[in-house]
Amino acid sequence: MTSRPRRQLPHGFQEKTTPDGRTYWIDFRPQPPSWLPPADVRADNPMNYLESHSYKSSTESSDIHLPKGVTKHYTPSGSVYYVDSRPRACWVDPRTVDFAIDAEREGYTQNSEVLFTGGEILEPPPEAHIEYRLLMDLTKWRVAQCLSGYPDTRVDEVDILINMLNARIGANSNIHQLKPMDAAFIKACYKHISSEAGLASYGPSKVAKLEELTPSFSWRVLRIFIYIILLGVPRNYARRLMKADWVQWSSRHRWTDQQRALDGFLKSLTNEWNLINLTAALLLSAAVGLLTVNNLSPASQTATLMALTMALASLVMSVTFVWRYQRQLSNIHDLRKIMDEFIYEADSDIMPIFLSLPVSFLLWSAIAFGTAVLTHAWHTLSSTGPAIPVGVTTTLGLTAGIGTIVWISHRRIDRLKEWLRLGLWAAPVAVGEQEVGLTAL
């Protein structure tokens, strides 16, 4: 029956930690005197000790080389006995062992290993060599990085370390006889890969709320109102978020497919923000130029000021997004924080609204600027005739109509083909039959 663990270490023990964080204990107490040399000494001199319980006289054993820490003593009658004072290390906590019991004391001694360090206690016993554990940890990090599919600047350095450790360990037939590297090198290797989490971090965090909450009636009404104010742009971003499939990407193991979908969405975001910056700057300069026109009507001035304000808001929002998120969107671990903040911990409808603000402001700026131009053109009808206002109105109308047709054809090209081929009302049935692989008779 073992005794309860004590709070303090027994006398003669020291607790230490390896560079990779493992704890071991060193026993500096000398072993009980023995008529025979230690087992490792007898193993090195098998011819002098043929029987386990026999011992030689001092003259016959005088040629035996004793390691440092093992001393030979003589009794008053001239008999020889040995004392082993070498420190021993063990992975077992000595506070859990009752050394007053012979069986527990002998078991702890058998689990201990003598430290052959020339008097300097540097490393624990080679239960699992520290360089081998380092090699396994580096390999695990490399496998996790490969499965993630994302680039990392530390890959080349880690590959060099893996090859070096493989060559160093492979050159020794007995890894336990390999003298470990300096502890500073081991700590530097672990610090080099410490910022990269394991495989579990490629999904949502533990605090993430993966279950969707049922929206309330007030939020539904408010969402419809916000979508109308923002010209329906959040719906486009919501559809793109579903296509990126972040929740399934976090829970499945289709690393390559989900990584491509997510990369495409992130690249489209950064490209859109850069394009919005350019377009908003052009609208901003055009609105400022329109304000300098003489005899501008109050309606045109109001619309121009609205266009100026909306263009400035769009520019500020897009620049803020680029400055705040462009660097984080390239890092999968920083992206997970954004996902938790805007998707899991909050309502899933907030993220599309948040992303649609620059585009919505830009559209309102373009509408206000077009209104200001039309108002000013029709205001000059009495002095210039109908040619200029009618021409401006026709040009803007054709531009808006062609842009709408191009957008609809780009977004609904497949459905338009079905309408043209089968008719408007037969399209849903035909599509359903094609999806299940049926043929019309």
CA angle, 145 as apex, 200 and 199 as ends, to 5°?
10
- Banded model confidence at residue 351, pLDDT cuts 50, 70, 90: confident
Q: What are phi and psi of 175, to 5 degrees?
A: -65, -25
Which range among 135-139, 171-175, 212-216 shows the weakest confidence by mean pLDDT? 212-216
* Mean pLDDT of the 383-397 span: 62
| Percent helix, strand and coil across the chain, each to the nearest 5 | 60, 5, 35
- The reported pLDDT for the residue numbered 203 is 42
Helix (H, G, I), strand (E, B) or coil at 23: strand
Q: 358 near 314, Cβ under 8 Å?
A: yes
Structure tokens at 419: 């309408």
Q: How far is CA 285 from the centre of its chain?
A: 42
Q: How confident is the model at residue 252 (pLDDT cuts 50, 70, 90)?
A: very low
What's the pLDDT score for residue 207?
Answer: 43
How does the average pLDDT of the chain come out, rounded? Answer: 69
Structure tokens at 328: 């984080």
The C-alpha angle 406, 367, 243, rounded to 5 degrees, equals 50
Instruction: Give me Rg for the CA atoms of the chain.
Output: 39
Q: Give the amino acid at 252.
A: R
Torsion of CA 86, 92, 95, 96, to 10 degrees: -130
* pLDDT in the model for residue 419: 52
Question: Residues 266, 329: contact at Cβ < 8 Å?
Answer: yes
301 alpha carbon, distance to own chain's centre: 51
Q: How far apart, in whole angstroms, are the C-alpha atoms of residue 378 and residue 389?
A: 5
CB 119 within 8 A of CB 100: no
Residues of the chain above pLDDT 70, percent: 55
Highest mean pLDDT pick, 42-46, 123-127, 217-221, 363-367: 363-367
Above 50 in pLDDT, residue 116? no
Name the residue ranges covered by the structural domains of the chain.
13-114, 130-202, 217-379
Q: What is the spatial distance between Cα 315 and Cα 279, in angstroms, rounded to a whole number?
A: 9
pLDDT score recorded for residue 429 = 43
93 pLDDT exceeds 70? Answer: yes
Percent above pLDDT 90 for the chain = 5
Distance CA 272, CA 278 (A): 10
- How is residue 6 written in tokens? 């004590």
151 has a pLDDT exceeding 70:
no
Residue-level pLDDT at 259 = 58
Task: Please enumerate in sequence order all residues whose Cβ is within 8 A of that of 204, keeping only pairs 6 or more positions apart, or say none.
Answer: 210, 247, 250, 336, 339, 340, 344
Find out whether 125 and 24 touch, Cβ atoms under 8 Å.
Answer: yes
- 3-class secondary-structure state, position 90: strand
Which pLDDT band holds residue 361 (cuts at 50, 70, 90)?
very high
Could you tell me which of 5, 16, 65 has the C-alpha nearest to residue 37?
Answer: 65
Picking from 233, 281, 20, the residue whose alpha carbon sits closest to that of residue 129 is 20
> What is the pLDDT at residue 201?
40
Please give the structure tokens belonging to residue 172: 């020794």
Predicted confidence at residue 310, as pLDDT, reads 92
Question: Could you give the angle at the alpha carbon of 395 between the alpha carbons of 390 and 401, nearest 5°?
Answer: 120
**Which of 112-126, 196-210, 223-237, 255-269 is most confident?**
223-237
pLDDT band at 331 (very low <50, low <70, confident <90, very high): low
Give the β-pairing of 23-27 and 70-74.
unpaired
Which amino acid would we find at residue 385?
G
Q: How confident is the model at residue 250 (pLDDT cuts 50, 70, 90)?
A: very low
Residue 201: burial class (beta carbons within 10 Å; 0-12, 13-18, 19+):
middle
Q: What is the pLDDT of residues 7-16, one digit of tens each?
A: 667 767 778 7
Task: Check residues 136 and 117 and name the one with the higher pLDDT.
Answer: 136
Quickly state the pLDDT bin for 48 (edges 50, 70, 90). low
pLDDT in tens, 174-219: 666 677 677 778 888 887 777 544 444 444 444 444 445 566 778 7
Overall pTM > 0.85: no
Residues 292-307 have pLDDT tens digits of 888 888 888 888 999 9
* pLDDT at 338 (0 to 100): 55
**SS (HEC) of 374-428:** HHHHHHCHHHHCCHHHHHHHHHHHHHHHHHHHHHHHHHCHHHHHHHHHHCCCCHH
- Binned at pLDDT 50, 70 and 90, residue 312 comes out as very high
* pLDDT given for residue 308 in this prediction: 92
| Residue 8: φ, ψ to 5° | -110, 155
